[in-house]
Chains A and B, each alone.
Chain A
Amino acid sequence: MLPEQRGTEPAPIVNGYTDLAADVLAHAKACGATEADIVVADGETLSVQVRVGTVDRLTKAREKRLGLRVFIGKRSATTSTSDFSRESLEQLVADTCTLARAVVEDGVSGLPDAAQLATEQPSLDLYDETVLDTETQIDWAKRGEAAAFAADPRVTNSEGAEFDSSSGRVVLANSHGFVGSYKSSTFSLSVSPIAIESGAGTMQRDMWYEVQRKFARLASAESIGQEAARRAVRRLGARKVATKRVPVVFDQETAGSLLAHLCSAISGYGLYKRASFLLDKLGQTIASDLMTLYDDGRMVGGLGSRPFDGEGLTTRKNTIVERGVLKSYLLDTYSGKKLGLPSTGKASRSVGESPSVGPTNFYLVPGLKSPQEIIGPVREGLYVTELIGFGINMVTGDYSRGACGFWIENGELAYPVEEITIAGNLKQMFKNIEVVGNDLVFRGRIASPTLKISEMMVAGN
């Protein structure tokens, strides 16, 4: 079934939100706000879940939300509501100003300077007009799951397959006169099969997924289902291993989680609160010289791209780490001022919360070796494919997580392993990265090729 094309865009709504934002900002000023900004977001979602060949759940939704932040001198507060009636918004403005008056002055608080705000808002190709009907989404999910069942006779159960499509728009406006807006969409399919070992009857689950801003760019449902099945089946027969110190190879997904920890450690908020293991390291070596990392807010079609950041500043491509040397933190205006540095355009914003910082499209520049070439020289080690738990201490860098994967013997994946942990300290782990793979693929806002760390403690039997 072919997707319908959406007709003329309801542009008046954007204008409506722009006018609404201007009204609320004017009202805030009248209530005593010296500065203010406002975020309005709305969206539509259709989600289909299929399990063992039949529709399990169908979800349809429309939502909208407005967030307001006011400053009264150096005091500030934030609020949000889903009720856009005049009466409700007037109450919201009054409540916000009352709250702001109740907190303590914070010397560095405030909007960014007007001169820093984005003046151009390029189209980053974040929006797809395609509207999928329910039948099409059900068909995709069914085909994904069916492909997993067909791929291997040991796939005999399933947690289901889910196809989601969503689209929405964001409007940001502030009392300096900035008004920005953009639309975005995502289409995603995930398949979660369960494989059962015939003799022992033990079960293993895994999943595979893809997310794209454009429907046409999604891989086939069949290829996603087959990969999900391959991942579940290969875990059958997993066992524990003896406790020992060995080299550890992280696949793309788990390597990405290490980069996510690095993002937290160089977030301006963690740094000024002295709650990071990478304090005062700008310009210093924090990682192996194989590591060069960028954060690019303007990657065309990127899952983390946006034309302006959560405060209205121009998004950009920053060099975060260059050959192991830390070149830039992730900063917004506030955390930058606390550290005596300018914003790096990394403000992220949830409606109704004050800005925080986050990566846009954060990635590690790939090396030359394939995953096979990385595993090949390892005599004994661990290839990690999944990590669970929250044993990460951002203040000290201490790291201890549950892991699943494969034991490497003489350069081969010998057998699957589970119920083990890997432990170390992130400060040392980044320095001990010995090989960076050539297999960088963007599957989310943080992307990494395969990585090898020279040695970590694996705890098992």
Chain B
Amino acid sequence: MLEPVQLTQFGVTELEAQHALDRLNVRDVDYADLYFESRISESVSMEEGIVKRAAKSVSQGVGVRATAGEKTGFAYSDELTKKDLEIAADTARYIANSPRGDSPVPVPIQRRATRDLYPVERTRAEVPTADRVTLLNEIDAEARRYDPRIKNVMASFNTEYKVVAVATTDGALVGDIQPLSRLQITCIAEDRDNRQVGSFGGGGRVEFEYYREDNRHLSYAREAAREAILNLSAVDAPAGVMPVVLAGGWPGILLHEAIGHGLEADFNRKKTSAFSNLIGKRVASAVCTIVDDGTLPFRRGSLNMDDEGTPTSCTMLIEKGILRRYITDKLNARLMGIPLTGNGRRESYQSVVLPRMTNTFMLAGESDPQDIIRSVKKGLYAVSFGGGQVDITNGKFVFSASEAYLIEDGRITSPVKGATLIGNGPEILTKVSMVAHDLKLDNGIGTCGKDGQSVPVGVGLPTIKIDEITVGGTQG
């Protein structure tokens, strides 16, 4: 168990936090919280065989929020002065229509401990920059060794060390230390006039040693190089509706875009989601069971507690094709009268809490991956993807393949150039006819954007077959 994070490290005493909460807790305020955050981000990057950039940023601040009915009053500051707290309290009073003379109701807060899904040394061991430089140098050498046609290697290693504490009017004072790191590699391959790109990466709430275990960093380098070289021989992608087989792991971005965002409670409370009013209804074939699980140790999308101090959980979103739950934060759970799932997240103290995904994946099925490929006469086999996007309201989503192959007569044949796949969220999973037993989680590279806020997330998928989806290639 972690000791609760000490407020004193933010330059605040427990009593001061208590007073600030009291001040916010005026009549008609349903809930208020203070979110203290300190973050140290570091990065080193290389290109052209030189580790030429190193950067570090330090930030600290507090976000102060009060909610009344559907309304949220929010203020933030990089200083915790009396004036900043007054502005925050006034903002809160404003939204609650609380008169100035109204007296606040004292809130007793109690320290609570959290879980420990990503243990870190209490005194953070500094990784010497020289070690990071060496890591990147080895990656560059490995990628170039893979094939002489690799002409440039760009690699970056980013780490973040975030300490948060949340004090709430529902009586909790709880803290967490949230380490996060990511190694990302991009290779450019050139063969005469043909230039192609390949990339690979990974990470999580892990320490530096993770990347050196079994030379994981070198295997990332080879993967990025392999994809770039493979794309040198890629043919134009087909256009039109066809069966698509998605490989396990990162292609789980399908779930994130097609259904995950649509199940976030805010959109459903406002009835602006294509999934509004579909709880208990069939939205996927019976072979599909999908969860959002923030409790997986060391995962990029995992958290001991969400940014409102609620422990994260494993939430059944879709069970054998039937929509079971939305994912919630406190505001939306309260307004909708549905369970709190521990998905209230924010990018930083400068942003408001929104219901967000953690690690979203489909549970393993029973099919054999080879049988799935063999079942397709003419279609696409997509192994890796770039980003995706969704229109919550009409349900249309896209995600773009970065490594894909044609399937012809049940066999994987030529690699094809990247193409965007487009479908309809509430409909696409009803077209999943086979789910393999090979569930894989992604390597830890996902970042989700919503309302201008980025948070780290994970996805996962076994090999699946979608009977039909529109593939946006150039060949008719």
A459-B240 contact given A81-B59, A273-B154, CB 8 Å threshold: yes
How far apart sit A400 and B234, CA to CA, in the bound complex (Å)? 15
With A103-B53, A400-B420, A459-B473 known as contacts, the answer to whether A202 contacts B76 (CB < 8 A) is no
Is B383 at the interface (CB under 8 A from chain A)? Answer: no
Closest to A47 in B: B74
Most chain A beta-carbon neighbours within 10 Å: one of B57, B73, B77, B352 = B57
Cβ–Cβ contact A457 & B72, under 8 A: no
Contact with B along A98-134 (1 / 0, CB 8 A): 1110111110010000000000000000000000001
> Which listed residue (B47, B58, B133, B422) contacts A419, Cβ 8 A?
B422
Given A194-B393, A390-B387, A457-B473, A60 and B87 contact (CB-CB distance below 8 Å): yes
Contact of B418 among A65, A81, A400 (CB under 8 A): A400
* A213 interface hit (Cβ, 8 Å): no
> B389 touches which one: A65, A157, A238, A390 (CB < 8 A)?
A390
Contact of A95 among B56, B71, B77, B424 (CB under 8 A): B56
Residues of A within 8 A of B128 (CB): 102
When the two chains form the complex, which single residue of A59, A240, A275, A424 contacts B75, counting CB atoms closer than 8 Å? Answer: A59
| A422 contacts chain B at the CB level, 8 A cutoff | yes
Residues of A within 8 A of B54 (CB): 77-78, 99-100, 102-103
Residues 458-476 of B, flagged 1 when their CB comes within 8 A of A and 0 if not, give 0000000000001111111
Query: Interface size for chain A: under 10, 10 to 19, 20 to 34, or 35 or more residues?
Result: 35 or more
Which of A253-261, A374-382, A391-399 contacts its partner? A391-399
Is A418 a contact partner of B400 (Cβ separation < 8 A)? no
Q: Do B129 and A275 touch (CB < 8 A)?
A: no
- Supposing A203-B274, A274-B152, A419-B422 touch, asked if A83 and B60 sit within 8 A by C-beta, the answer is yes
- Residue total for B at the interface (Cβ-Cβ under 8 A): 81
B55 at interface, CB cutoff 8 A: yes
Does B246 have its Cβ within 8 Å of any Cβ on chain A?
A: no
Within 8 A of A (CB), among B282-334: none
Residues of chain B within 8 A (CB-CB) of A419 are 396, 422-424, 470
A217 near B: Cβ within 8 Å?
Answer: no
A444 proximity list for chain B (CB < 8 A)? none
Check A274/B151 contact, CB under 8 A, given A59-B352, A243-B239.
Answer: yes
Q: How far, in whole Å, are A400 and B240 apart by their CA atoms in the complex?
A: 13
Q: Is A165 an interface residue (CB 8 A)?
A: no
Q: Which residue of chain A has the shortest Cβ distance to B59 in the bound complex? A: A82
B394 contact from A203, A421, A458, Cβ within 8 A: A203
Chain A's closest residue to B90 (CB) is: A60
Quote the shortest CB–CB distance from A300 to chain B (angstroms).
Answer: 28
Is B394 a contact partner of A58 (Cβ separation < 8 A)?
no
B406-457 interface (Cβ within 8 A of A): 417-420, 422-424
Determine whether A231 belongs to the interface, using a CB cutoff of 8 Å to chain B: no
Stretch of B28-36, B167-175, B177-185, B188-196 that contacts chain A: B188-196
CB contact list, B79-118 vs A, under 8 A: 84, 87-88, 91, 94-95
Among A63, A65, A159, A398, which residue has its beta carbon within 8 angstroms of that of B272? A159
Report yes or no: B129 in contact with A102, Cβ–Cβ below 8 A. yes
Q: Chain B residues with Cβ under 8 A from A425's Cβ? A: 474
Q: How far does the alpha carbon of A99 sit from the alpha carbon of B133 in the complex, in Å?
A: 11
**For the complex, what is the distance from the CA of A458 to the CA of B239, rounded to whole Å?**
8
Given contacts A157-B270, A388-B398, A396-B195, contact A103 B422 (CB under 8 A): no
Determine if B51 is an interface residue (Cβ-Cβ < 8 Å).
yes
Q: Tell me if B50 is interfacial: C-beta within 8 Å of chain A.
A: yes
Given the known inter-chain contacts A57-B352, A77-B55, A419-B423, please indicate yes or no for A243 contacting B394, CB distance below 8 A: no
Asked if B196 and A423 sit within 8 Å, CB to CB, the answer is: no
CA distance A400 to B418 in the complex (A): 8
Q: How far is the CA of A404 from the CA of B53 in the complex (A)?
A: 41
**A159-B270, A353-B55 known; A402+B398 contact, CB < 8 A:** yes
Q: Which of A56, A79, A82, A418 has the most CB of B within 10 A?
A: A82
Residue from B59, B75, B274, B418 within 8 A of A60 (CB atoms): B75
Smallest beta-carbon distance A293→chain B, Å: 24
Contact B78 A82 (CB under 8 A): yes
Tell me the A44-67 residues at the B interface (CB within 8 Å): 51, 54-65
Confirm or deny: A171 has a beta carbon within 8 angstroms of a beta carbon on chain B. Answer: no
Please determine whether A354 and B55 come into contact, CB atoms closer than 8 angstroms.
yes
CB < 8 Å neighbour of B58 from A82, A353, A398, A458? A82
A420 and B470: CB pair below 8 A?
Answer: yes
Q: Which residues of B contact A78 (CB under 8 A)?
A: 53-56
> How far apart are the CA atoms of A102 and B135 in the complex, in Å?
13
Using a Cβ cutoff of 8 Å, how many contacts connect chains A and B? 264
Q: Is the CB of B74 within 8 A of A400?
A: no
Q: Is the CB of A57 within 8 A of B188?
A: no
Residues of A within 8 A of B77 (CB): 61-63
Q: Give the nearest-CB partner of B273 in chain A.
A: A203
Tell me whether A92 is interfacial, beta carbon within 8 Å. yes
Query: In the assembly, what is the distance between CA of A288 and CA of B50, in Å?
Result: 38
Chain A residues with CB under 8 Å of B473's CB are 400, 423, 457, 459
Enumerate chain A residues within 8 angstroms of B398, measured Cβ to Cβ: 388-389, 391, 401-402, 421
B4 within 8 A of A: no
A81 to B79, CA, bound (A): 12
Given contacts A82-B58, A273-B47, contact A389 B399 (CB under 8 A): yes
Q: How far is the CA of A404 from the CA of B70 in the complex (A)?
A: 32
Q: Is the CB of B420 within 8 A of A421?
A: yes
Distance between A273 CB and nearest chain B CB, rounded to angstroms: 6
Given contacts A273-B188, A388-B398, whether A79 and B95 have CB atoms under 8 Å apart is no
Contact with B along A66-104 (1 / 0, CB 8 A): 000000000011111111000010001001101110111
Q: Are B56 and A354 in contact (CB under 8 A)?
A: no
Q: In the complex, A341→B396 CA distance in Å?
A: 45
Q: Cα distance A395–B44 when bound, in Å?
A: 23
* A-chain residues with CB within 8 Å of residue B53 when the two chains form the complex: 76-78, 103, 354
Q: Which residue of chain A has its CB nearest to the CB of B228?
A: A395
Of A81, A352, A389, A402, the residue contacting B55 (CB under 8 A) is A352
Bound complex: CA A396 to CA B54 (Å): 29
Taking the complex as formed, is B1 at the interface, i.e. its CB lies under 8 A from any CB of chain A?
A: no
Count chain A CB atoms within 10 A of each CB in B75, B186, B392, B423 and give the residue with the most.
B75
In the complex, the answer to whether A203 meets B393 with C-beta atoms within 8 Å is: yes
Interface centre among A95, A103, A398, A400 (most CB of B within 10 A): A400
A145 to B194, CA, bound (A): 51
Q: Tell me how far the C-beta of A40 lies from the nearest C-beta in chain B, rounded to whole angstroms.
A: 13
Asked whether, in the complex, the Cβ of B152 is within 8 Å of the Cβ of A275, the reply is yes
Instruction: Report how far A235 CA is from B87 CA in the complex, Å.
Output: 42
B237 adjacent to chain A (CB < 8 Å): yes
A92 to B55, CA, bound (A): 11
**Minimum C-beta distance from A310 to chain B (A):** 15
Q: Check: A411 CB closer than 8 A to any chain B CB.
A: no
Q: How far, in Å, is B42 (CB) from chain A's closest CB?
A: 8
Scan residues 234-260 of chain B and give those whose CB is less than 8 A from a CB of chain A: 237, 239-241
Q: Across the interface, do A57 and B55 meet the contact criterion of CB distance under 8 Å?
A: no
> Which residue of B is nearest A240, CB measured?
B470
Check: B163 CB closer than 8 A to any chain A CB.
Answer: no
Contact partners of B350 in chain A: CB under 8 A = 61, 63
A431 at the interface (CB under 8 A from B): no
B52 contacts partner chain A, Cβ-Cβ < 8 Å: yes
Interface centre among A65, A100, A203 (most CB of B within 10 A): A203
Residues B133 and A104 in contact, CB atoms below 8 Å apart: yes
B14 at the interface (CB under 8 A from A): no
Binding site for A on B (CB under 8 A): 44, 47-48, 50-61, 70-78, 84, 87-88, 91, 94-95, 128-130, 133, 151-152, 154, 186, 188, 190, 195-197, 237, 239-241, 270-272, 274, 350, 352, 386-394, 396-400, 417-420, 422-424, 470-476
Can you list 6 pairs linking A and B with CB atoms under 8 Å apart?
Answer: A78-B54, A98-B129, A389-B387, A402-B398, A420-B422, A425-B474
Beyond A103-B54, A274-B151, A389-B388, 12 additional contacts (C-beta under 8 Å) are: A58-B94, A58-B95, A59-B76, A62-B84, A76-B53, A77-B53, A82-B58, A82-B78, A134-B94, A391-B400, A400-B420, A421-B398
Closest 7 CB pairs of A and B: A421-B472, A389-B398, A102-B129, A205-B393, A402-B398, A390-B387, A391-B420
